[in-house]
Structure 1
């Protein structure tokens, strides 16, 4: 048992909870991921058109600033994972949450900040610098650090029932992420885009850090508990069909083929999804659809995502994860085809919604279960941090590729076919993406 420090159990001891505190961790970690939405492309996309109008930037210019800022944020995420392994969840999550609040405050004043720039920076260069700084900080704190440590905290409190437990988190995450554009759109309509960001800054930067301080906890061992709670004691150990025999370092994990296939599939999902959501209004306008139709597709996609998540979360504790990768790849290709053919046949709208739902429903499950099952939890922060780095890099490139596709060809089809080919390649490669622990269990 790890040494129990006073801070690990402040202001109350999780072991004195009337129920296994891991279930509270699932709720809290899910809340942490939900609070990161303003820093996710899903959250930024609703403000895209307002920023373009306020700053006088083109869609491609804003997408380029978004790409550069996101790439910058991604370069620090492996380091964040290592700090999480060293210092634990609370200090990193608090800094990330406060940092995101400050960043949202900064972004809400972007049009006023222009007035403080020296004359030689007024114009496109100054606009780029403003949005680059804002996007880099927002993506680092929200999509990066806060999401990373919240998800890792949940994964460490469960082992044999990790898929089952994370299923609850993934369901809520699917609903909140898919519903966020509708909520943010309401805030913008009621208060304006600037005040909408100020409201989100107050909630995320002032209120949520207090929840982190009082209720977030690191490994259950630091509180004298065990992963899964009493379940580990009462049930036969054979229930765990995928025991971890060897704990991998980041270097070891990156030398494994499965790491790259899973990480690249998740990165491709981010590439497509951010490119799609960042330009969703424009994508639908090219097909002669209304803005309201573009925003409305997220809710039905979230319902499908919830159904998929509920169906596969517990199942993931009992089957090889590469099977889920097959389904995710097929769902992603279906979504891309729906987007490409949206202008040809109106019923492709439902194909797009269904494919997005399948893809989103599997994303959270695969991201949550893969790394601790394949590589153990000793270096989970560094390994998951590197995987998230690729995800964030994918999300940085997607919007600019989609925007440039429109600029060069007058449609988003070129970007769509690129996504389709890459998803197809990774779906085939998944056949060889086996759990590296298997070869050690056979010895």
Structure 2
């Protein structure tokens, strides 16, 4: 009892400090929408597109090969994936505010360490030609990538998204669409922004500036505005009551699934695996972004600039997909998502400056626009909010694990087969298989409602 009360006091006692959310003149969920969006954007340095801008600088200064740094990234990311289900459990226990403070503190620390990564390695082995140098460098980079991916791509992203989903039910897709628009815009300009920061200072100082921004400004922001369940503050989701069904779509679950129960349902895998596959493809593409475009005869500026037109398409699809997800069955968005993935990988396999370049923009824009909708809306609608941290933590673990394989898959495709096309054709085959089975991706809650109506 003492332990339980201690946990509750930590999670809820400071909810009304430094202000009472229920006292503001409008529903606090709209503040949560803003805070959640900022939280996901703050994870950018821990995302692959945040790392990709620094990849060539790391290769140059650490003196390891592209395959070796890809492998270090893979092992570090895989290691982080094994802890994300546990992190989701801690989120369920302690709430969004405290877990985000811990994750952002870790992210700031690892960014400082990455800025000095080559110097840290040389504290242990001074000579790059030494027989043990590569081994030491790999161990240190695996550890740094582990911290980066766990705190940034993993915990900070997961908790920020889940917090928003707890504050809305009937408008869940709509608010996620708004958030996704802003996140898509932010992530699309992140590589160019990071590159300009590097060119304006250096690769070291770019990471140092990010570390101070997250470690001071964002931590203060999160402490002020992040809150977990609306019920803990005397409020309800959406600020008003809603039934279980609206517009012939189940929006409020009849049953609260545990993680083990959720994993036994087919829709869980039909939605989680495409999301994981998208993460694999996008990390492989962005990690080797410059090299992929050079292999297709396109320069660095052309590579970095592709995110701008993609962002415009992603923004429109994110908002429309979020809005319409409150009104239709999610499996229809899953179809669209998988078709976008298929177009993207086939275009990337044949990349040129013409038809396939624009084909990639269309396909990637479709997938990127719907990724956050499916990743965020699916789990609370299908399985409830009670164990949302555990369930989404496991899904995030799958996604992070898959994302770890992307850079290595693309790297070995290039070094062993002389191009990136083999990796893309392999991904296309898997996407087609998932597309065939996606018609079975129905909401498990529909079955319970049907059973209830016949009692």
Question: Match for 2:185 among 159, 175, 178?
Answer: 175
Q: Which residue of 2 aligns with 1:339?
A: 348
Quote how far apart the aligned CAs of 1:423 are: 1.1
Q: 1:7 aligns with which of 11, 14, 19?
A: 14
Is contact 2:244-2:253 (8 Å) kept? no
* 1:88-127 correspondence to structure 2 within 5 Å: 88-118=95-125, 122-127=132-137
The verdict on how the C-alpha distance between 1:58 and 1:236 changes in structure 2, with shifts beyond 3 A counting, is closer
Is the Cα contact below 8 Å between 2:36 and 2:164 reproduced in 1? yes
Three-state SS of the structure 1 residue aligned to 2:257 is coil
Asked if structure 2 preserves the Cα contact closer than 8 Å seen for 1:160 and 1:239, the reply is no
Distance 1:189 1:30 in 2: 27
TM-score normalised according to structure 2 size? 0.94
Q: 1:238 to 1:285 in 2, by over 3 A?
A: closer
Alignment of 1:247-326 (within 5 A): 247-326=256-335
Q: Distance in 1 between matches of 2:33 and 2:140?
A: 36
| TM-score normalised by length of structure 1 | 0.96
Question: Moved runs in structure 1, 4+ residues, more than 6 A?
Answer: none
The one-character-per-residue Cα deviations of 1:305-355 (angstroms, maximum 9, x if unpaired) are: 001112211100011111101001000110111111114x62211111111
- Residue 115 of structure 1 deviates from its aligned partner by 2.0
Match of 2:410 among 387, 390, 402: 402
Deviations 1:148-193 (A, max 9, x none): 1111100000011100111111111111111110101100111111
- RMSD of equivalent CA atoms: 1.7
Q: Distance in 1 between matches of 2:143 and 2:285?
A: 23
Whether the 8 Å CA contact 1:114–1:122 is kept in 2: the answer is no
CA distance in 2, matches of 1:8, 1:432: 41
Task: Give SS of 1:75's match.
Answer: helix
Shift of 1:6: 3.3
Asked whether the 8 Å contact 1:68–1:132 carries over to 2, the reply is yes
CA distance in 2, matches of 1:185, 1:67: 23
**For the residues of structure 1 that align with 2:132 and 2:60, how far apart are their CA atoms?**
16
Gaps in structure 2 of 5+ consecutive residues = 1-7
Q: SS where residue 253 of structure 2 aligns?
A: coil
**Distance in 1 between the 2:144 and 2:285 partners?**
21
1:258–1:434 Cα contact (<8 Å) kept: yes
Q: Deviations over 1:389-431 (max 9, x none)?
A: 0000111000000000001011001100011111111111111
Within 2, Cα distance between the matches of 1:116 and 1:238? 62
1:197 corresponding residue in structure 2: 207
Partner of 1:371: 379
Count of aligned residue pairs for this structure pair: 439
Q: CA offsets per residue over residues 52-78 of structure 1, 9 Å max, x none?
A: 111111111000000000000000000
- d(CA) in 1 for partners of 2:413 and 2:311? 27
Q: What 5-or-longer segments of structure 1 have no aligned partner?
A: none
